[in-house]
Chains A and B, each alone.
Chain A
C-alpha cells in the first residue's frame, strides 16, 4: 500500500515536472533563432526593402522615447506617422540590464533592443542572441554612407568574427575632467595642463573660498570611484582597462608606473583637497556636488558640460556658473589619453518576429526625421516647424532636446539650435584624443581587483607601491593578465 502511494506520488511529480517544463520556451524559438532564422521568414541579415504597410515593431529600450508613459504613447504614434510602422515601445523605469536578460532568458520576442555595453554585446554574440547585420548595413544606402556613420566606427560593433552585429543609436562621446571655469577666473588661475598645475588649481579650489561664502566647505576634485581618472592617469601614459602588449594581456593601472599617480591622489585625499566620499560616490552624487558649488572639478561625460551649464542657466539666468572641459594631462612623450565611452546601439535579437520592420526603423533612425524625433522629440509636442525652421515648445525646452539622441553621427543633419554651451569644445577634445578601452571577457573579474587596490592606494589606506604589487600579483595569480 505504502509502495503504491509512493509510486503514485512519484508519477504525479514527474508528470507535473514534464508538463511544466513543456510550458517553457526553451527549445523551439531558440533553435530557430540560433540558425539565424526568424519567425517572419526573412533573415535579419538582409536589406530592409519591405513596404511599411502592416509592419509591427516591438522595442525594448532604456533611453529612446518619451519622458513619461503618456509621452511614450505619443512617441509611438509619431513613429507610426513618420514610418508607417506600428511600434510598441517598452522603456523600463529601472534595472534595465536585468530586464533585458530576463526578457531574453524567458523567450520574449523583441524586434529591437537597445544596449550600451560592448562587453555585454560580446556575451550576447556568444549566447546566440544577436542577428548578423553585416549584409544589411553594407547594402543599406543610408547606413553604408560614411557621411551618415563614418566607416571606421562600425569596427566597434563587430563580433570577433568581424561581422557587424549592431547599429548605433546615437553618437557617444567620452569622459574628461570638467572644471568650474568661473572659479578659475575668480581665483586668477589658468587652465591646468600638467600634474603640478592641476594640484595647484585643486588646492586653490579647496583653500581660497572660490564660492565666496566665507566658509571652508569646498573640495578641489570629486570622482565616482575610479570613474573616470583617465584624464589624470594619462600623465603617466596609463590607459584604462586592458592593453595588449606583444600579444600579452596587461593592465597598465596595475603596473609600477601607476604608483606615483596613486600617490598623487593619496596626497589630495590627505590634504582634504579631494572629496572624501569619492570611493562611495555614485555619479549622481558627484554631479550634485558640482552643481551645488561644493567641488571645482569632476570627471564626467562631454555632454554633461552642456547639461551642467544649461541646468544652472535655467535655474538662474544670471548665474556665473561655467563648466568647461579639460584635456587629459600629456604623458612624458606628449601623448594624451582620453576615454571614449561604449556606444549606445541597437541589436535585432535572433528571435525577432519583425526583422524587416526593425531594419526599416534603423535606417529611419539615422535620417533627419529619425534624428529629430530622437533629439527634439515629437512634432507639435516638443517642437514646431515652419519651413526649415524649428521652434521648441515649453515641453521641448524642458526635455532639453534629448529623447535618446542628444548627438548623432549623420553629418548631413545640422543641429537646429546648436549644441549646449561647452559641448562642442568637449567633443572636439574627444574627437582629437579619445580611444575606446579594450574590454576583454575577463575584465569583470579583473575590475574588482583593480578597483579594490587602486581605491585603497588613492584613499591612503594602503601604500601605493604595496597596493600595485598586490594588485598585479593577484591579477597574475588568477590568470587575468599575462605579465
Chain B
C-alpha cells in the first residue's frame, strides 16, 4: 500500500499501455482460444466442441504441407536474413569514405520502408518472362530462353526467401552497424599492438563483440518465422501455391475464404505454441539470458 502511494502516479501512467494490450492483444487472444473450442458460426448458437477443431487441423494434410513449407521458407529466411546483413555490415564497416557508407546504408534501407505490395509489384515486373529486366539481361548476356521465375515451383521458395532477406537486409544491417560502432576502440588498439591484421581484428574482436546483438537479431527473426504471410500472399500463384502456402496462409484460407473460424483459430494456436517452443529452444541454444 505504501509502495502504491509512493509510486501511484507511475502506475496511473501505465494504465493506457496495460489497457491497450488487454484490449488489442490479450482480449483477442482469449476470444481466439474460445473460438478454437467452438463450432463457431457468424450468427446463432456457437456450441463448444472440445478439441474437434484441433483434431480436424491435425488430420488435415494441407496443414502439414503448410507446416513443411513454413519450416523450409522460414528456415531459409532466418539463415539469409541473418547472414546477409551481417556480411554487409562488416563490409560497410571497412569502407572508409563516410559518404559512400551512408549512401549505401540509405539505399539498402529503402526496401524495408516499402510494403510487400510495392516490393512484390516491382519484382513481379522485374522477373516477368515478357519484358522483365532480369530476363532481358539473361537473354542478352547468356542467350538463354526467358525463365518464368514466378511460376517455376523449383524457384518459388528461393524467390520468397531471397526477396525477404533483401527487403529486410538494410534494417538488420543498421542494427549490426550500430553495435560495431559501439565496440570499444581500445580493443582494436590492443589487437593492433599485438600485431593483428584487419582480418584478425574482424575475427577476434568485431565478431565476438557483436555476439549479443546477433543473439537479439536471431531471436527476433525466429519469432517471425511462422508468421510469414505478406510476401507469400503477394508472390504466390496457382502453379507454385503448393510450394509456398505457409501456416498463416492456411489460417487465412480457412478463416477468411472458407469461413471456418473454429479450425482457423485452432491452427493459429498451433502457430502460437510452435513459435513459443521455437523461441525457447533458440533462447536456450544461444544462452540468450546471458546477454
Contacts and interface: CB of A to CB of B under 8 A. Distances in A.
A20 B44 contact: no
Interface of B: 22-23, 27, 30-31, 34, 41-46, 61-62, 124, 128-130, 146, 148, 150-153, 237-239, 241-242, 253, 256-259, 261
A226 B152 CA distance: 17
Given A277-B130, A280-B124, A127 B41 contact: yes
B245 to A, nearest CB: 8
Contacts of A34: 43-45
B239 A452 contact: yes
A461 B249 CA distance: 25
Contact of B22 (A20, A26, A33): A20
A17 interface: yes
Given A16-B22, A445-B62, A459-B148, A104 B256 contact: no
Residue of A20, A31, A104 with highest tally of chain B CB at under 10 A: A20
B151 A127 contact: no
Interface string A253-283: 0000000000000000000000111011000
Contacts of B34: 21
Given A20-B27, A277-B128, A279-B148, A448 B238 contact: yes
Main secondary structure of the interface of A (DSSP, over half): helix
Residue of B34, B256, B259, B261 with highest tally of chain A CB at under 10 A: B259
A455 interface: yes
Nearest to A351: B43
Nearest 5 pairs of A and B residues by beta carbon:
A34-B44, A451-B238, A128-B44, A279-B151, A30-B43
Contacts of A26: 46
Contacts of A445: 62
B43 A448 contact: no
B135 to A, nearest CB: 9
B238 to A, nearest CB: 3
A33 B259 contact: no
Contacts of A24: 31
Contacts of A47: none
A372 B35 CA distance: 45
22 contacts: A20-B30, A29-B43, A30-B42, A30-B43, A30-B45, A34-B45, A98-B256, A101-B42, A105-B261, A226-B238, A275-B130, A276-B129, A277-B129, A279-B148, A444-B253, A444-B257, A451-B239, A452-B241, A455-B237, A455-B238, A455-B239, A461-B151
Interface residues of A, number: 44
Contacts of B46: 26, 30
A129 interface: yes
A123 B152 contact: no
B31 A21 contact: yes
A225 interface: yes
Contacts of A154: none
A187 B83 CA distance: 57
A459 B62 contact: no
Interface string A342-357: 0000000111000000
Contacts of B238: 225-226, 279, 448, 451-452, 455
A461 B22 contact: no
A459 B239 contact: yes
B69 to A, nearest CB: 13
A173 B150 CA distance: 32
B30 A276 contact: no
Nearest to A98: B256
Contacts of B27: 17, 20, 23
A101 B256 contact: yes
B18 to A, nearest CB: 10
Nearest to B235: A280
Contact of A280 (B43, B45, B151, B253): B151
A279 B239 CA distance: 8
Contact of A276 (B42, B148, B239, B258): B148
Interface in A427-470: 444-445, 448, 451-452, 455-456, 459, 461
Nearest to A120: B259
B148 A31 contact: no
A280 B121 CA distance: 11
A124 B260 CA distance: 11
Nearest to B46: A26
Given A101-B259, A225-B237, A275-B130, A128 B43 contact: yes
Contacts of B241: 448, 451-452
Nearest to B255: A101
A278 to B, nearest CB: 9
A478 interface: yes
A180 B148 CA distance: 27
A448 B61 CA distance: 14
A451 B128 CA distance: 20
Interface in A181-229: 225-226
B43 A452 contact: no
B14 to A, nearest CB: 14
Contacts of A97: 256
A279 B86 CA distance: 36
